[in-house]
Chain A
Amino acid sequence: MTNHEANSLVIEGVSTAYDQANVLENVSLTAASGKITCLLGSNGSGKTTLIRSILGLTPPNRGSIRFGGVDLAGLPTHRVIAAGIACIPEGRRVFAKFTVEENLRIGAYQETSDAAVAQRLAHVYATFPRLSERRDQLAGTMSGGEQAMVSIGRGLMRAPKLLLIDEPSLGLAPILVRENFNIIRRINQQGITVFLVEQNVHQTLAISDYGYVLSKGRVVAAGEPSELGQTRQVHEAYFG
């Protein structure tokens, strides 16, 4: 196996159910190493469930989820993370009663070297000077945009090979959405594989290398961003 394949996320035939009801049906997709791959879909299409299945928060009933030569399906969440994965969850989910710095430190929870943690902390503060100014502020008292920075910074503290990002634009002002997408592109340029789940079609396709469309728990279209933007399925997935 080459290094490139090692950092690809390969999902094959995944079905996931919450209490009897199937949410994902036979989903197969690949987030190629070093690329930004997006998954588009409207509310309730099963996007977040797929992220939860990858993370082991809602384990899939069938199928395989491979990353770095390991089948993640069925592993407890902390072992999925140990495979070199980090997640920027939907709604940011910062720890409200932690300071900014504590939020960042918990992001590097599995890193045992203090020197590595200090180095990453410096890197995140360089990326987000605003967080550096407010390192002792409780995250719960910050604005939505600032919390988004905390959540992204926390994901970077893991120094992941694969970063899962769930709806980064949710609830943010348009200018912040644009800024976030620029940041995602910069993260990817550092060599991190990105799997981005979004509702926001145009800006997402603009930064992606490859895209999938999810509708009612099934993958209904896949392709390069230029062709995907034109397809009927994308429109149907949202309005159909």
Chain B
Amino acid sequence: MDLGLVAQYTMNGLMLGMMYALVAVGFTLFFGVLDVIKFSHGDVLTVGAFTALASFIGLQSIGLSSDAVELLAMLVAALGAMALLGAFIARAFILPLRSAPALNTLLITLMLGTVLREAVRLFYPDGANPKPFPRLLPADSINIGNFNLRLDNAILLTAGALVIVGLQLLLNRTKLGLAIRAVAQDEETAKTMGVNFNAIVLITFAIGSALAAFAGLMNGLYYNEINFGIGLYLGVVGFSAAIIGGLGSIYGAILGGFLFAGLQTIGAVALPFASAYKDVFAFAVVIALMAWRPTGLIPEKLSERV
């Protein structure tokens, strides 16, 4: 195999990894502050992608045709609406269930995910079929040997990386981040320091859900097509990535996301039985990894084990 092809596959793997990492980080943030798994997370991504598409169509219908303005509006609409949806889900369904067994939260979010997914399928015009997603980024490309570097892909990848760096700065350099990390470590002591616990939980769910919306937008712009099931798949992968990384660890979630994408890419390229089995291969390796390291690659509660 020549280098150009390797570069092509690497680019694709990085793109997938970035989306998985963005979803996985949400799972890990929610688990950090509330010790809950929110299974509707992937479907929030779907709703985010469809919100972006709907706002694009809305802008077209009022005759706006600047790609940059449209893209910006889609970004603001999708991220803003999903941040609100995430905070609403936390307020209405997750915080009230705090005294109930964790299994109940898991079940309610699983059902909520189905409701969101089915709502997109049934209420979005012709929502049962895949929808074309507009190409809004410049599609110029540079050929380096067999490797075709597309400008839109480079932009998406850079934007994703910037979002992750931004999140990292928010968590480690700001007072809000300090409060989120304090709540994740010890809820009661954080409250005793004067942190408004409920507000921090809602903000964290808003941030995680906005990240999912960003991943949904990336997905649409990369494949130029979305359907009501994208979030279900990305949710399962993102959840697995968060688990292999060590639930609760941000770096672990990012690592897990890229690891999973790497496995899929290897599965698609290097194995004789070809790309149809790439998920089988990737999930099989995840199962093996979990058997080897049951608490994930970067265990969250490392300090308690030493």
Residues of B within 8 A of A55 (CB): 191-192
For the complex, count residues of A whose C-beta is within 8 A of B: 25
Task: Count how many pairs of residues, one from A and one from B, have CB atoms less than 8 Å apart in the complex.
Answer: 66
Which one, B50-58, B182-190, B201-209, is touching chain A? B182-190
- Minimum distance in angstroms from A76 CB to a CB of chain B: 7
Docked CA distance A96–B185 (Å): 8
- CB-CB under 8 A from A130, the residues of chain B are none
Contact in complex: B191, A95 (CB < 8 Å): no
With CB as the reference atom, state the residue of chain A lying closest to B188: A57
Considering only residues 138-187 of chain B, those with a C-beta below 8 Å from chain A are: 175, 178-179, 181-182, 185-186
Q: A78-B196, A106-B182, A109-B195 are in contact. Are A96 and B190 (CB under 8 A)?
A: no
For A158, list chain B residues within 8 Å (CB).
193-194
Bound Cα distance from A158 to B195, whole angstroms:
12
Mark each residue of chain A from 113 to 143: 1 if its CB lies under 8 Å from any CB of chain B, else 0: 0000000000000000000000000101100
Given A81-B192, A106-B195, 17 more pairs with CB closer than 8 A:
A57-B188, A57-B191, A77-B191, A78-B197, A82-B194, A93-B188, A95-B182, A95-B189, A96-B303, A97-B303, A98-B185, A105-B175, A106-B178, A106-B190, A106-B193, A107-B193, A109-B194
Tell me whether A106 and B179 are in contact in the complex, defined as CB-CB below 8 angstroms, given that A81-B192, A96-B185 are known contacts: yes
Q: Does A226 contact B (CB under 8 A)?
A: no
Q: Determine the distance from Cα of A83 to Cα of B14 in the docked complex, in whole angstroms.
A: 50
**B197–A109 touching, CB < 8 Å:** no
- Judge whether A25 is part of the interface by a CB distance below 8 angstroms: no
Identify A89's interface contact among B178, B179, B192, CB under 8 A: B192
List A residues 167-186 near B (Cβ within 8 Å).
none
Q: Report if A81-B194 is in contact (Cβ < 8 Å); known contacts: A102-B178, A106-B178, A109-B179.
A: yes
Q: How close is B306's CB to chain A, nearest CB, in angstroms?
A: 9
Q: Which residues on the A side are within 8 Å of B178 (C-beta)? A: 98, 102, 105-106, 109
CB-based contact B194/A93 at 8 Å: no
Please list the 6 inter-chain residue pairs (A to B) with the smallest Cβ-Cβ separation, ordered nearest first: A81-B194, A77-B191, A110-B194, A93-B189, A78-B196, A140-B303
Distance from B174 Cβ to chain A, minimum over Cβ atoms (Å): 11
A192 within 8 A of B: no
5 A-B residue pairs with CB within 8 Å: A55-B192, A76-B198, A81-B192, A106-B178, A110-B194
Contact in complex: B182, A76 (CB < 8 Å):
no
Closest approach, in angstroms, between the C-beta of A209 and any C-beta of chain B?
25
Q: Quick check: A93 and B186 within 8 Å, CB to CB?
A: yes
In the complex, A98 Cα to B186 Cα: how many Å?
Answer: 11
User: CA separation between A138 and B193, bound complex, in Å?
Assistant: 18
B residues less than 8 Å from A138 (CB atoms): 303
A154 at the B interface (CB under 8 A): yes
Q: Are B193 and A97 in contact (CB under 8 A)?
A: no
Q: Which of A34-91 contact B (CB under 8 A)?
A: 55, 57, 76-78, 81-82, 87, 89
